[in-house]
Amino acid sequence: MPENTPMRTLDAVASRDRLLLAFAELEMYGIAARDAVDAEPDRTRAQLSSQLRAGVPHALGSYVFWVRADEAGAVGQLPLYTSGAEVDRAVVAACAHHGVTVRPGLRPGVLLVAW
């Protein structure tokens, strides 16, 4: 490890890698998982919902994502935006499986990852 590499930066990289593994697991279960989305959360929610309804009209339409701007500015926690309670338990379980701590956010459809 280079001497000038802050430990916090390395921790963030390791956390991101574990979160990506959790997202891959969620995808295997049919939950659309998008990382570092380059759009506002409400816009992304609408787009994902529309895409999922068009692609698989009889599915639940479950999704989880985080926004790139949140990742860049994250200090201690990263918001994960979900389609709701039907997917929150799966997200928490997949994250725990990969060593990522998740807790409820301030409003429904938002979980917070220790970052």
Report pLDDT digits (tens) over 68-85. Answer: 999 877 678 999 999 999
Say if residues 45 and 62 touch (Cβ distance below 8 Å). no
- Does residue 2 belong to any structural domain of this protein? no
- Does residue 57 belong to any structural domain of this protein? yes
What stretch of H or E contains 110?
A: strand 110-114
- Does residue 73 belong to any structural domain of this protein? yes
The length of the chain is 115
In which band, very low, low, confident or very high, does the pLDDT at 8 lie, cut at 50, 70 and 90?
A: very low
- Does residue 89 belong to any structural domain of this protein? yes
Say if residues 105 and 81 touch (Cβ distance below 8 Å). no
Q: Which domain holds residue 13?
A: 7-114
**Number of domains forming the structure of the chain:** 1
List, for residues 102-113, the tens digit of each pLDDT value.
999 999 999 999
- Does residue 1 belong to any structural domain of this protein? no
Helix and strand totals (H; E) in the chain: 4, 5
Residue 78 falls in which region: left (phi positive, over 0), alpha (psi -120 to 50) or beta: beta
- Rounded to two decimals, the pTM is 0.85
- Does residue 65 belong to any structural domain of this protein? yes
Task: Answer whether residue 95 shows pLDDT above 70.
Answer: yes
- Does residue 14 belong to any structural domain of this protein? yes
Say if residues 15 and 100 touch (Cβ distance below 8 Å). yes
- Does residue 42 belong to any structural domain of this protein? yes
